[in-house]
Amino acid sequence: MGFFADSLARVQPSATIAVSTKARELKAAGRDIISLSAGEPDFDTPDHIKEAAKRALDAGKTKYTDVDGIPELKQAIIAKFKRDNGLDYTPTQISVGTGGKQVLYNALLATLNPGDEVLIPSPCWVSYADIVLLGGGTPVFVPTKPEDGYRLKPEALAKAINKKTKWLLFNSPSNPTGAAYSYDDLKVLTDVLLRPENDHVWVLTDDMYEHLLYDGLEFATPAQVEPELYDRTLTMNGLSKAYCMTGWRMGYAGGPEPLIKAMRKLQSQSTSNPCSITQWAAVEALNGPHDFIADNNRLFVERRDFVVAALNKAPGLSCLMPQGAFYAYPSCDGAIGKTSKGGVKITNDEDFATALLEEEGVAVVHGAAFAGSPAFRLSYATSLDALKDACARITRFCEALT
Ligand code: PLP
């Protein structure tokens, strides 16, 4: 028996963090690198939110707080769920954690037993499967297709459910594909979950990119679309993306009280409360002005439109138009089997991403990390100038493949 826990051997370090670290190292070594690997907006946190944090600091809000959130923040979250999603919660149905990641982690670790399966429509965020594995459960990918806009179809969901299925882990708009589900797209899925034979399946919905939705699409979340699912849905959200607060670490969820209580128990024995200053900043973020989000989204759309058009001109790539988040997810199927200018045989998307970084200095994350190959994810949450340069390099790389 080794020193390290067996459960650790089953998981991978986060691929997106690994690529970003490699890009930073190359940059530090003097290489000209454009990193499109990180999952965070390039915009700074809005001033009114920073000011709220400064006020909290000056007012001495520097002590331990309630484990799963101060009452003022829970009230702001309750108001947000009502305002944006038409969902009613009480304070004992709200959990606040150190990032959406911790909230997901709490929910899965508090509920999974060996043999329990978690359905994950793929391509999916890198951490889902690993968190399920750490919790002792079994991740089951349910592949979605580019021709369906990377959206899960009801037949595929129905087929994937069995007696061992505990959760459907749902994410819209999606990291990495940017696919988003309309009310109608969701309704056909919730109808499957309402079938009597599926009444043991719970929904963990990751609404992290709720506000980053484009082209006039309206956001929808499962418990809102199907109120009958309210008692078996955990609605997770956070401030990292739309509020440009990745470093502050703030996530939250609303759901059935026994589940929230179990999550609180776990958190009380791990990190305790999320940062007190962050919590006060979050109260302001949720209750304060939101117009900066529309301003940011206009820039995201401009960048998205540029990137998708540019990628579709590169030989061997094809890219769907993402409807939300700030990622493009081009297929690189047409590059597989070719050889790069530097002599690298491209046998899969990891080879593609590695050679692209080595030869052209553009950091992207290979699709295998998201259980969706052959493709890669690039984040367009960076300046248009950097994106123009990056897309020119990607095109040059693809044109040189033989
Ligand atoms: N869910 C999705 C789909 C994400 O992309 C991320 C971050 O990349 C998270 C959850 C976690 O966000 P955080 O822990 O910063 O709140």
Is 80 exceeded by the pLDDT of residue 13?
no
pLDDT of residue 1: 61
Q: From the CA of 346, how far away is ligand 1's center (Å)?
A: 30
Convert the pLDDT of each residue in 239-267 to its tens digit. Answer: 999 999 999 999 999 999 999 999 999 99
**What's the rounded Cα separation, in Å, for the pair 101 and 381?**
20
Reduced to 3 states (helix: H, G, I; strand: E, B; else coil), residue 169 is strand
Convert the pLDDT of each residue in 52-106 to its tens digit. Answer: 999 999 999 999 999 999 999 999 999 999 999 999 999 999 999 999 999 999 9
By CB atoms closer than 10 A (0-12, 13-18, 19+), residue 121 is buried
Share in percent of the chain as helix, strand, coil (round to 5): 45, 15, 40
Interval 160-174 mean pLDDT: 98
Q: Is the peptide bond before 176 cis (omega within 30 degrees of 0)?
A: yes
Evaluate whether 40 touches 248 at the Cβ level (below 8 Å): no
Residue 34 backbone phi and psi in degrees, to 5: -110, 115
Evaluate whether 140 touches 174 at the Cβ level (below 8 Å): no
Q: From the CA of 192, how far away is ligand 1's center (Å)?
A: 27
* Averaged pLDDT of the chain: 96
Convert the pLDDT of each residue in 218-244 to its tens digit. Answer: 999 999 999 999 999 999 999 999 999
Is 90 exceeded by the pLDDT of residue 8?
no
Instruction: Return the ligand 1 atom nearest residue 250 CA.
Output: 16
Interval 19-28 mean pLDDT: 85
Is 80 exceeded by the pLDDT of residue 18?
no
Convert the pLDDT of each residue in 189-227 to its tens digit. Answer: 999 999 999 999 999 999 999 999 999 999 999 999 999
Is 80 exceeded by the pLDDT of residue 12?
no
Percent of the chain with pLDDT over 90: 92
Q: From the CA of 101, how far away is ligand 1's center (Å)?
A: 6
> Which CATH number is 65-287 given?
3.40.640.10
Instruction: Return the ligand 1 atom nearest residue 239 CA.
Output: 16
Model confidence at 15, pLDDT cuts 50, 70, 90, reads confident
Tokens describing residue 191: 């109808």
Q: From the CA of 205, how far away is ligand 1's center (Å)?
A: 12
Residues of the chain with CATH 3.40.640.10: 65-287
Residues of the chain with CATH 3.90.1150.10: 6-44+292-399
Tokens describing residue 257: 């009280």
* For ligand 1, mutation pick of 98, 128, 131, 240 (most atoms within 8 Å of CB): 240
Convert the pLDDT of each residue in 148-157 to its tens digit. Answer: 999 999 999 9
Q: Is the pTM of this model over 0.75?
A: yes
Reduced to 3 states (helix: H, G, I; strand: E, B; else coil), residue 346 is coil
Ligand 1, residues at Cβ distance < 6 Å: 39, 99-101, 125, 171, 175, 206, 208, 238, 240, 246, 251
* For ligand 1, mutation pick of 17, 105, 126, 175 (most atoms within 8 Å of CB): 175
Q: From the CA of 124, how far away is ligand 1's center (Å)?
A: 11
> Which CATH number is 6-44+292-399 given?
3.90.1150.10
